Amino acid sequence: MARTRRLRARARSARLSSPGVVAGAQLVRALRAGLQGVPIEGGPAPPDAAPVVWVDLGDELLVHRKSLNVRFAPGTIVVSVDVETVETGRQRLVVPLALGARGEPSSPSSPSGLFAVTSREPYTHPLLAARWGRILQDAVWSALVAMATRRAGGRGLAPRGISVDHQARAVHLDVRPRSQQ
């Protein structure tokens, strides 16, 4: 009887610690939500793909969330989105995030952790990248971490890692019981 309980507990733990796979429309929706920002003065949140205006230190940037695109390379997710200012017109900013490939460094169940490596500034338009690049990078990374945190939920779990499976065109979210961290 005690052996059966231990086996069930192990099976439950394995199920809870297995990574969640986020791909396709679900991944795009989560990233678009991360680009939403905070409505001014408690206004309503815009629809999923509606453009939003980011305001920072008196500067404004129109973010065309519907244009968000996600590509994959080994160990890397590349997020691009069209943005616009009066001075630059509509331009595309590209944010690559190296998260580690699924299975690195030691086994298929070993994600790279909760960190990412990216370029100093997003690619493309230099003025937009210099002014808004870091903010865009932070928004994309925050959206990925928020997905992992939601996956952990209030079940005594914590995010452990995020990795990329470029062949499956998916992001893997690994959550574990807090005691296994």
In tens, the pLDDT along 118-133 reads 777 677 889 999 999 9
Instruction: Provide the strand spans (E) within the chain.
Output: 20-23, 52-56, 59-73, 76-85, 89-98, 123-124, 157-165, 170-177
Residue 34 has pLDDT above 70, yes or no: yes
Peptide bond into 105 cis (omega under 30): yes
Alpha helices (H) in the chain, listed in sequence order:
2-17, 24-34, 126-152
Query: For 2-27, what is each residue's pLDDT tens digit?
Result: 554 444 444 343 333 344 788 888 89
How far apart CA 41 and CA 137 sit, in angstroms, is 25
Residue 103 has pLDDT above 70, yes or no: no
Q: Mean pLDDT for the chain?
A: 79
Which range among 64-68, 146-150, 157-161 has the greatest average pLDDT?
64-68
* Residues in contact with 38: Cβ distance below 8 Å, sequence separation at least 6, in sequence order: none
CA end-to-end distance (rounded Å), the chain: 29
- How much is the pTM? 0.78
